[in-house]
């Protein structure tokens, strides 16, 4: 087998993605800022194609198609080979199917092998667009997502941001902390967990396929892997996917991420449905499809965008497409996340007199790097409330990287950001913070002359003192990363100004 399903050179560090975002063309950044406002108040549904997994090291369909063709041509059991067969994944798998059946197709793809298509828990942690999407879901920007990919990279990204993949635990009440995975008709009939992100895998799932095979399923689980030309031309027996897509297209703004449109049945269904939606409730010029893609100007994506506009031109200033090249999908989504947070936190920042820099690198340093760390500490140090006991139990299991939504408590978020900016100035750092600085020392602020590291948490001193008395400070110290070679101080606010509590001793200490 020559099919390659992982290329480590495609995986970049968080800093590399942040740098790519900071280098975005000003016009693209303006469009992302406009899109953040445009999506406000709408139900959004990400629909993700192969391009969504590229930053995780997964190959695109054309690369897999070439590898499959090489295998097909070198395998004597497939003689006589189909004539004029090119490296198109849908066509090559159709040729394999006609000769050896669907099980042979699945094995040719390598889906039976967890080394080629690992489960979410086995994927090496890395920062990617799926982690950004996890944050957007936890910020309540969307509640459902659809992917056409077999890989488990999306689930791995969700897990890295604190989502629970198992159904055993009770969901929290304040924000989404579970994943409800739907990969076939049977799972589509299961009751969705409250407090969960519902992820539908319309073309099947490698891990789910292996689970069915291991469980002795007699219902031909291989048929739920959608890849062949014939499968991509007709809905076949997957009415659950068709019915959901029809409902979703009527009630959501579709965010097409890395969606090449190579599935003609989905592209055709969406085009027809969107035309029907606009005939029933005309909203001329209002985009219902936004393409975020390496190359969004293809005929298929143009057609879907046009259908989403009801066949009219977009209203002035409306955003219908975002080009991710020459940056990365992850970088583009980081910029969108940052601008979305800035948009929604605007009223709270205005009320507090806080203004963030317009330079994207500095905004990302505040909203996508430092604030998540400060809010993680704040949430763990805050004493439990009546309705968040389960949420806290779930969060503790992934707290080292778990994401606390900034929009769940805008006041605390803004207080932490404001204290951070003022404390940096007090330490002699008057220039806006860069992403490189914010990533250093687990986002603690270092006093260069005193050997002390400070982290504002946005809490009142009374709340921080209560956390110390209740043992929450010790729990956070044992769970979250911090600069261990320095005296670390958590900074809170009091009527007399900043007050600090030492992580090492739990005692109050002065703050500059």
Per-residue pLDDT at 168:
72
Rounded to the nearest 5°, which phi and psi values hold at 428? 90, 10
Per-residue pLDDT at 305:
93
Contact 66, 87 (CB under 8 A): yes
Asked if pLDDT for residue 191 goes beyond 80, the answer is no
Instruction: Give the model's confidence band at 236: pLDDT under 50 very low, under 70 low, under 90 confident, else very high.
Output: low
Residue 107, phi-psi category: left (phi > 0), alpha (psi -120 to 50), beta (remainder): alpha
The region of weakest confidence among 38-52, 380-394, 407-421, 451-465 is 380-394
Per-residue pLDDT at 262:
67
In 26-163, the DSSP E strands lie at 44-48, 144-147
Half-sphere exposure of 260 (CA within 13 A, CB side): 12
Per-residue pLDDT at 266:
83
The string of pLDDT tens digits covering residues 358-381 is: 999 999 999 999 999 999 999 999
The domain limits of the chain are 29-60+118-330, 61-109, 354-509
The interaxial angle of helices 26-38 and 329-352, nearest 10 deg, is 60
Among residues 344, 376, 342, 375, which one has the least CA distance to residue 359? 342
Residue carrying the six token digits 């055993």: 168
Asked if pLDDT for residue 238 goes beyond 80, the answer is no
The region of weakest confidence among 31-40, 79-88, 225-234 is 225-234
Q: Map residue 355 onto helix, strand or coil.
A: coil
Q: What is the mean pLDDT of residues 470-483?
A: 89
Asked if pLDDT for residue 3 goes beyond 80, the answer is yes
What is the pTM assigned to this prediction? 0.95
Longest dimension (CA), the chain: 85
The string of pLDDT tens digits covering residues 396-447 is: 888 888 999 999 999 999 999 999 999 999 999 999 999 999 999 999 999 9
Residue 270, phi-psi category: left (phi > 0), alpha (psi -120 to 50), beta (remainder): alpha
Per-residue pLDDT at 130:
98
Half-sphere exposure of 355 (CA within 13 A, CB side): 3
CATH class label, 29-60+118-330: alpha beta
Per-residue pLDDT at 59:
92
Q: Which residues pair with 256 in a beta bridge?
A: 47, 291
Percent of the chain's residues with pLDDT above 90: 71
Instruction: Give the model's confidence band at 275: pLDDT under 50 very low, under 70 low, under 90 confident, else very high.
Output: confident
Q: What is the DSSP letter of 228?
A: S
Instruction: Give the model's confidence band at 237: pLDDT under 50 very low, under 70 low, under 90 confident, else very high.
Output: low
Query: Given CA atoms 180, 185, 191, 192 in this order, what sign does their dihedral have?
Result: positive
Asked if pLDDT for residue 454 goes beyond 90, the answer is yes
Percent of the chain's residues with pLDDT above 70: 98
Q: Give me the DSSP letters along 378-428.
A: HHHHSPP-TT-HHHHHHHHTTTTTPPPPGGGSHHHHHHHHHHHHHHHHHTT
Q: What is the 3-state secondary structure (H, E, C) of 268-327?
A: HHHHHHHHHHHHHCCCCCCCCEEEEECCCCCHHHHHHHHHHCCCCCCCCCCCCEEECCCC
- Return mean pLDDT, the chain: 91
Q: What is the mean pLDDT of residues 223-247?
A: 82
Task: Round to the nearest angstrom and report the end-to-end CA distance of the chain.
Answer: 63
């Amino acid at each position: 087998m020559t099919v390659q399903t992982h290329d480590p050179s495609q995986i970049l560090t968080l800093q590399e993605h942040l740098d790519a975002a900071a280098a975005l063309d000003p016009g693209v950044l303006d469009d992302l800022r406009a899109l953040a406002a445009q999506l406000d108040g709408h139900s959004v549904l990400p629909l993700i194609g192969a391009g969504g997994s590229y930053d995780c090291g997964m190959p695109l369909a054309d690369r897999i198609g070439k590898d499959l063709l090489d295998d097909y041509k070198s395998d004597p059991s497939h003689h006589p080979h189909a004539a004029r067969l090119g490296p198109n994944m849908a066509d090559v798998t159709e040729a394999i199917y006609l000769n050896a059946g669907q099980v042979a197709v699945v094995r040719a793809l390598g889906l039976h092998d967890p080394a080629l298509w690992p489960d979410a828990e086995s994927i090496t942690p890395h920062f990617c667009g799926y982690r950004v999407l996890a944050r957007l879901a936890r910020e309540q920007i969307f509640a459902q997502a659809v992917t056409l990919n077999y890989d488990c990279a999306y689930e791995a990204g969700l897990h890295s941001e604190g989502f629970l993949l198992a159904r055993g635990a009770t969901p929290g009440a304040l924000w989404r902390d579970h994943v409800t995975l739907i990969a076939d008709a049977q799972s589509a009939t299961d009751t969705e967990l409250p407090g969960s992100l519902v992820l539908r895998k319309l073309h099947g799932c490698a891990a789910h396929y292996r689970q069915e095979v291991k469980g002795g399923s007699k219902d031909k689980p291989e048929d739920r892997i959608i890849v062949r030309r014939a499968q991509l031309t007709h809905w076949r027996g997957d009415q659950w996917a068709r019915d959901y897509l029809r409902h979703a297209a009527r009630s959501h703004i579709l965010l097409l991420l890395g969606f090449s449109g190579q599935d003609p049945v989905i592209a055709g269904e969406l085009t027809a449905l969107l035309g029907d939606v606009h005939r029933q409730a005309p909203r001329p010029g209002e985009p219902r499809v936004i393409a975020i893609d390496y190359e969004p100007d293809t005929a298929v994506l143009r057609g879907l965008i046009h259908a989403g506009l009801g066949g009219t031109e977009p209203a002035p200033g409306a955003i219908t497409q975002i080009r991710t090249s020459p940056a990365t999908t992850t970088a583009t989504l980081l910029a969108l996340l940052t601008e979305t947070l800035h948009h929604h936190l605007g009223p709270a920042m205005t009320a507090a007199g806080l203004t963030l820099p317009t330079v994207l690198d500095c905004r990302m340093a505040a909203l996508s790097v430092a604030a998540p760390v400060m809010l993680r500490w704040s949430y763990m140090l805050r004493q439990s409330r009546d309705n968040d006991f389960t949420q806290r139990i779930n969060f503790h299991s992934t707290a080292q990287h778990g994401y606390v939504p900034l929009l769940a408590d805008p006041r605390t978020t803004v207080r932490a950001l404001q204290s951070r900016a003022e404390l940096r100035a007090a330490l002699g750092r008057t220039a806006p913070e860069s992403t490189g600085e914010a990533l250093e020392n687990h986002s603690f602020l270092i006093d260069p002359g005193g050997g002390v590291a400070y982290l504002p948490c946005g809490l009142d001193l009374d709340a921080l003192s209560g956390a110390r008395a209740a043992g929450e400070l010790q729990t956070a110290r044992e769970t979250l990363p911090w600069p261990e070679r320095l005296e670390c101080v958590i900074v809170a606010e009091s009527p007399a100004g900043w007050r600090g509590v030492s992580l090492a001793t739990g005692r109050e200490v002065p703050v500059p």
